[in-house]
Structure 1
Amino acid sequence: MRLRTLIAATTTTLFAAAPVAAQDHSDWPENFTLGTASQGGTYFAYGSGWANFVSENLDISGGAEITGGPMQNMALVQTGDVKFGLTTMGPARASRQGNSPLAPGMKMENVCAMFPMYQTPFSVTALAASGIESIDDIPDGAKIGFGPAGSTSDTYFPKMMETLGVDFERQNGSWSDLGTQLQDGLIDVVAFAAGIPVPAISQLEVQTGVNIISFTDEERQKVTNKFPVSEFTIPKDTYQSLESGSEVVSMWNFSIANCDVPDSLVYEMTKLTMENNDRMVSIHKAAQSTIPENVDKNTALPWHPGAARWFRENGYEIPDSRIQ
């Protein structure tokens, strides 16, 4: 049974886009569901807030559904079980190529990009009391939490750790559960791949001392050479535990829609999101990167025609060959 968090459109916002009530909504669904990820992670916080924002402004009720994250969201959007979702470029590319572990051989070609979200840093966190201050410090056989099974973190981080010579016991769970397990000493490390600040880390560092571990230059080079990630610095002011920026790697996130969703609905959703960044940042700080200038970070998915129309109208180039 699905666990849904339905968010009613019951309030009024000062950030409304151009009125849409007078437009033809006859082909719009009565409501929509957005696939996010586990509670305690950025996807759920960002996605719940975005669904509420859309509901407030576009006269359509929406909700955020707890899922296994980017890989599962690709499958749910492909099949139409949910019409919208959040994903990262690595799982998106693998899913389109038929390499999803959730549906081997199924080429998920009816999933379209809507707008850029933010970069997902891959970061490692341990309790300060553990003495683990670097990846080299992680002891052989350490229990490492990699997030929900099938998530971006679970798909890529174990392979990254193997590339860096770490011997570990793999653990899965929601980010909030893994944070609790780390605090209780049931696991040694959590390998987070989520937009920053990660709610579970922010909560942890209020309750206990944590080490947010950077990659060395050599470690970052090994990882970027082998995986679809790039270098990234977690700013010092992201967490109170950081004394300086944390050097890690990251992967881009995009919102997605089933390609059969009406163009006019996707156009209005994209317009609302791209033209109200202050409101998006109030939902989650990671949305500072939810801006149209990052349209070129989509390297894996075709564009939904409704989204492409907004970007083109506002001077951003999207070739015809990239539109579904």
Structure 2
Amino acid sequence: MKTQAIMAVAFASTLVASPVFAQDRAGWPDNFTVGTASQGGTYFAYGSGWANFVAENLGVSGGAEITGGPMQNMALVHTGDLKFGLTTMGPGRESMEGNSPLAPGMKMDNVCAMFPMYETPFSVTALSSSGITAISDIPDGATIGFGPAGSTSDTYFPRMMETLGVNFERRNGSWSDLGGQLQDGLIDVVAFAAGIPIPAVSQLEVQTDVNIIGMTDAEAKKITDNFPVSEFTIPASTYQSLDKPSRVVSMWNFAMVNCDMPESFVYEITKLTMEQNERMVSIHKAARNSIPENYGKNNVLPWHPGAARWFNENGYTIEASKIK
């Protein structure tokens, strides 16, 4: 299973006012890498910024690695090839149950939850010049970009489109690449699943006119009835192309860690992340939801003991049966 080279590496910074170096560091790694997804997507922006933040404050060099997204991250963290990763609950459940298309039959149960990230909305983007303003407008046989192979979008959005009666040709690629193909008229639609604002969509609407397409009442109900998602509203302020809120569906994301990582290391990372939300929001606006109150959105992964200790110390109860 191959991943691309590490794209962002951060080392302990002397510019940080008060890095935390006084902990029990028994067993701590010299460095760490977090599995993200393709460039142009929220995972890479969030993951690389978060890795830098942790490295600066804990004095352990770290960085982000481009991967195929949640499914591959689950596999890489389970095997220990990467110690940290980002995933959505749907791919997380399939991987835990041994239903990952990357390794059928392998139950990836050495992956533990660390903290809540944000919801991933599923939304459709087309050029305004296409005349596509609704999912029902997507022409028969349209070419749709679903993101990197094995990503959350690629895993679920094709099935959603089929459920809504859309007949399409499938295209995979990084979000940046698919955005370029859409702008050049090489594909008809991009079906995005990423935290908002999606960097590739923000870049697109600077360069051309786009339609960001939501779901009707009937479409949203049909999807929530058939998939592990809930209704979600993209605020109009998210993109300059929206003049009113856009109703879609979404799935929760969590940061995860190999269950064998030292408890004290995971505790300090969780503490740092959960107690400095303002700094996290400066990395990516989607981190507005990276708050401890959302810990209960995890109903899939066991909790790492280090993460669970921080939540339990701060009034967010995680039962012993849910801790690895």
- Listed one character per residue, the Cα deviations across residues 88-111 of structure 1 (whole Å, up to 9, x for unaligned) are 000000000000000000000100
Matched, 1:273 2:282: no
Structure 2 regions of 5+ residues with no counterpart?
none
Structure 1 regions of 5+ residues with no counterpart?
none
Conserved in 2, the CA contact under 8 Å of 1:13 and 1:57? no
Aligned to 1:305: 305
Aligned to 2:67: 67
Aligned to 1:106: 106
1:6 Cα shift? 3.6
Provide closer, same or farther for how the CA distance between residues 91 and 13 of structure 1 changes in structure 2, counting only shifts above 3 A. Answer: farther
Instruction: Report the AA paired with residue 112 of structure 2.
Output: C
Conserved in 2, the CA contact under 8 Å of 1:135 and 1:215? yes
* 1:255-274 → structure 2 map (5 Å cutoff): 255-274=255-274
1:3 Cα shift? 1.3
- Give 1:3's match in structure 2, choosing from 2, 5, 10: 5
1:9 Cα shift? 2.0
Instruction: Report the AA paired with residue 206 of structure 1.
Output: V
Aligned to 2:31: 31
Conserved in 2, the CA contact under 8 Å of 1:50 and 1:280? yes
Instruction: Report the AA paired with residue 130 of structure 1.
Output: S
* 1:166-185 → structure 2 map (5 Å cutoff): 166-185=166-185
1:14 Cα shift? 5.5
What is the alpha-carbon distance in structure 2 between the residues aligned to residue 158 and residue 23 of structure 1?
47
1:302 Cα shift? 0.2
Matched, 1:284 2:255: no
Provide closer, same or farther for how the CA distance between residues 115 and 76 of structure 1 changes in structure 2, counting only shifts above 3 A. Answer: same
What is the alpha-carbon distance in structure 2 between the residues aligned to residue 12 and residue 136 of structure 1?
55
Provide closer, same or farther for how the CA distance between residues 128 and 260 of structure 1 changes in structure 2, counting only shifts above 3 A. Answer: same
Structure 1-normalised TM-score? 0.98
Structure 2-normalised TM-score? 0.98
Conserved in 1, the CA contact under 8 Å of 2:70 and 2:87? yes
What is the alpha-carbon distance in structure 2 between the residues aligned to residue 315 and residue 10 of structure 1?
31
What is the alpha-carbon distance in structure 1 between the residues aligned to residue 258 and residue 252 of structure 2?
19
Instruction: Report the AA paired with residue 290 of structure 1.
Output: S
Matched, 1:197 2:197: yes
Conserved in 2, the CA contact under 8 Å of 1:31 and 1:61? yes
Conserved in 1, the CA contact under 8 Å of 2:98 and 2:105? yes
Instruction: Report the AA paired with residue 24 of structure 1.
Output: D
What is the alpha-carbon distance in structure 1 between the residues aligned to residue 151 and residue 120 of structure 2?
12
1:216 Cα shift? 0.2
- How many corresponding residue pairs? 322
Detail structure 1 runs of 4+ shifted over 4 Å in the superposition: 12-16
Matched, 1:316 2:316: yes
- Listed one character per residue, the Cα deviations across residues 111-149 of structure 1 (whole Å, up to 9, x for unaligned) are 000000000000000000000000000000000000000
What is the alpha-carbon distance in structure 2 between the residues aligned to residue 60 and residue 273 of structure 1?
15
- Listed one character per residue, the Cα deviations across residues 177-201 of structure 1 (whole Å, up to 9, x for unaligned) are 0000000000000000000000000
What is the alpha-carbon distance in structure 1 between the residues aligned to residue 15 and residue 191 of structure 2?
37
1:251 Cα shift? 0.1
Aligned-residue CA RMSD in angstroms? 1.1
Is the deviation greater in 6-15 or in 293-302?
A: 6-15
What is the alpha-carbon distance in structure 1 between the residues aligned to residue 137 and residue 200 of structure 2?
22
What is the alpha-carbon distance in structure 2 between the residues aligned to residue 32 and residue 177 of structure 1?
28
